[in-house]
């Protein structure tokens, strides 16, 4: 059994973080992904406790006040946070704990847990990123513009991450992600 470790995965929306994390969970027996709490409303197909824990503002405030969140941030007008207790439980069990969170949250995690490793997922180009956002077909022009702006902000901080993985070919990016987590977990 390996020691528990904490990994933050960030990158612009459309870089393919979700798909990569899903692949990672299939390939690594001791990997576990944290489910965040959010004040945003569920999208079609999203399931309570699987994609997020959907809460109202009062409950989010309560979680902050009892120090129940390891980090939290405001993203596109809604609040998102990582429940502290479950992350600690899974790390104590020797699991490789993954947080799929934005860059603001990533740096908060680094400040409180310097041993956490920060992984940045990059799209091959900005054109590819925009095409992926449009390809989803679910977002309005306004939302796409807002997401591209946020993407540029997030990309401007990628050099502060411990490693950057370009998600051009999904198989290759998955292999790189698995290799990095294995390497970190085994050096511990
Ligand atoms: P979405 O609303 O598209 O699911 O997520 C929007 C953004 O919020 C994504 O960049 C995602 O990584 C980020 N996010 C999701 N959960 C958390 C969290 O617990 N903390 C932080 N800081 N960001 C999160």
Continuous H helices in 30-140: 57-65, 84-92, 103-112, 126-135
| Model confidence at 116: pLDDT above 90 | yes
| Element containing residue 181 per DSSP (H, E) | helix 170-186
pLDDT at position 58 = 98
Segment 119-178, tens digit of pLDDT: 999 999 999 999 988 887 777 888 889 889 999 999 999 999 999 999 999 999 999 999
Share of the chain above pLDDT 70, in %: 100
Cα separation, 13 vs 151, whole angstroms: 7
Q: Which of 21, 36, 60, 78 is the best mutation target for the ligand 1 pocket, counting ligand atoms within 8 Å of the beta carbon and taking the most?
A: 36
pLDDT at position 20 = 97
Q: Which of 10, 70, 75, 143 is the best mutation target for the ligand 1 pocket, counting ligand atoms within 8 Å of the beta carbon and taking the most?
A: 75
| Model confidence at 54: pLDDT above 80 | yes
**Number of domains, the chain:** 1
Q: Is the CB of 96 under 6 A from ligand 1?
A: no
pLDDT band at 59 (very low <50, low <70, confident <90, very high): very high
Sign of CA dihedral 45, 48, 50, 55: positive
pLDDT at position 188 = 75
Which residue's CA is minimally distant from atom 14 of ligand 1?
A: 101
Terminal alpha carbon distance of the chain: 12
For residue 78, which atom of ligand 1 is closest to its CA?
2
Segment 69-110, tens digit of pLDDT: 999 999 988 999 999 999 999 999 999 999 999 999 999 999
Q: Is the CB of 150 under 6 A from ligand 1?
A: no
Share the mean pLDDT of the chain.
95
Q: Which of 105, 122, 157 is the best mutation target for the ligand 1 pocket, counting ligand atoms within 8 Å of the beta carbon and taking the most?
A: 105
pLDDT at position 100 = 98
pLDDT at position 64 = 98
Tell the residue number behind the tokens 């528990």, with chain if given.
4
Q: Is the CB of 95 under 6 A from ligand 1?
A: no
pLDDT at position 146 = 87
pLDDT at position 68 = 98
Cα-to-centroid distance, 104 and ligand 1 (Å)? 10
pLDDT at position 110 = 97
For residue 81, which atom of ligand 1 is closest to its CA?
19
* Residues spanned by the domain of 128: 5-186
| Model confidence at 40: pLDDT above 90 | yes
Q: How many helices and strands, by DSSP H and E, does the chain display?
A: 7, 9
**Kind of pairing between the strands at 96-100 and 5-10:** parallel
pLDDT at position 122 = 96
CATH code for position 139: 3.40.50.300
What contacts 166, CB < 8 A, 6 or more positions away? 122, 123, 124, 173
């Amino acid at each position: 059994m390996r020691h528990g470790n904490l990994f933050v995965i960030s990158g612009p929306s459309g870089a393919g973080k979700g798909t990569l994390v899903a692949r990672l969970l299939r390939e690594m027996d001791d990997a576990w992904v944290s489910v965040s709490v959010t004040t945003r409303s569920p999208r079609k197909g999203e399931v309570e406790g699987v994609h997020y824990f959907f809460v109202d503002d009062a409950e989010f405030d309560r979680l902050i006040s009892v120090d129940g969140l390891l980090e939290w941030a405001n993203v596109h007008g809604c609040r998102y946070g990582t429940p502290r207790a479950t992350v600690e439980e899974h790390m104590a069990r020797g699991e490789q704990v993954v947080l799929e969170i934005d860059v603001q949250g990533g740096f908060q995690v680094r400040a409180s847990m310097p041993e956490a490793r920060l992984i940045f997922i990059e799209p091959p180009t900005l054109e590819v990123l925009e095409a992926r956002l449009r390809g989803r077909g679910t977002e309005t022009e306004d939302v796409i513009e807002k997401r591209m702006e946020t993407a540029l902000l997030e990309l401007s901080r990628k050099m502060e991450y411990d490693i950057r993985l370009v998600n051009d070919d999904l198989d290759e990016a998955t292999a790189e992600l698995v290799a990095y987590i294995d390497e970190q977990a085994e050096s511990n």
